[in-house]
Structure 1
Amino acid sequence: MPKIIIENLYHKEISSKGTDRKVIEIIHDNNVDWMHACGKKGRCTTCMMIVTAGMENLSEPTDRELYFRNLGKLKPHQRLTCQTQLKEGEIHIRVNDAYKLPHMDYGE
């Protein structure tokens, strides 16, 4: 069963019932708030996740992610949750400091 571990949310574990789902959908389905200023359309980078482990369990970067990478706004270990699908296995991610929501309690 695919699993997301959000390290700086006190290692919150989120499981997905299926594969090939966008990471932000899995996060939101599990009642975790995650920034997405453009409405999950890949027009900004506010839904960025920092992938610390499990990159091989994610879909290939989309054209939108490559666009932001070419602009220098997305590093190779960063992905957009609205564009990236969790294929299988487990990923470990972190919320980018710049996009932490003020009402959330983050750990390190």
Structure 2
Amino acid sequence: MPRIIIQNLENFSIDSDSTDRKVIELIHENGIDWMHACGKKGRCTTCKMIVVEGQNHLSVETERELFYRTQNRLKSNERLACQSNLLSDTLTIRVADANKFPHMTYSS
């Protein structure tokens, strides 16, 4: 069963009974506010997530992610939540500092 753990939201855990779903969809469906300024279309990097563990459980990088990577707007351990599908197993992520909401409380 695919699972997302958001480390700096007190290890909030999201279980999904389906595979091949966008990470941002799973996060939003579970009541977590996650930034996405372009409407989940891969036109910005505001939904960026830092992948702590489980990069190999995500779909291959999309054209948009590769574009931002060539511009140094995505590091090797970062993916766009709106472009990445969780395929299997556990994915541990963190909200990037630049993408934190002021109305939410984050853990270390």
TM-score by length of 1: 0.99
* Aligned counterpart, 2:10: 10
CA positional deviation for 1:16: 1.0
Alignment of 1:68-79 (within 5 A): 68-79=68-79
Alignment of 1:60-75 (within 5 A): 60-75=60-75
Gaps (5+ residues) in structure 2? none
CA positional deviation for 1:90: 0.2
TM-score by length of 2: 0.99
| Deviation by residue 1:63-98 (Cα, 9 ceiling, x = unmatched) | 000000000000111000000000000010000000
CA positional deviation for 1:13: 0.4
Identity across aligned pairs (percent)? 57
Give the whole-Å Cα distance in 2 for the aligned partners of 1:8 and 1:44: 22
Structure 1 stretches of 4+ moved >3 Å: none
Give the whole-Å Cα distance in 1 for the aligned partners of 2:3 and 2:91: 6
Gaps (5+ residues) in structure 1? none
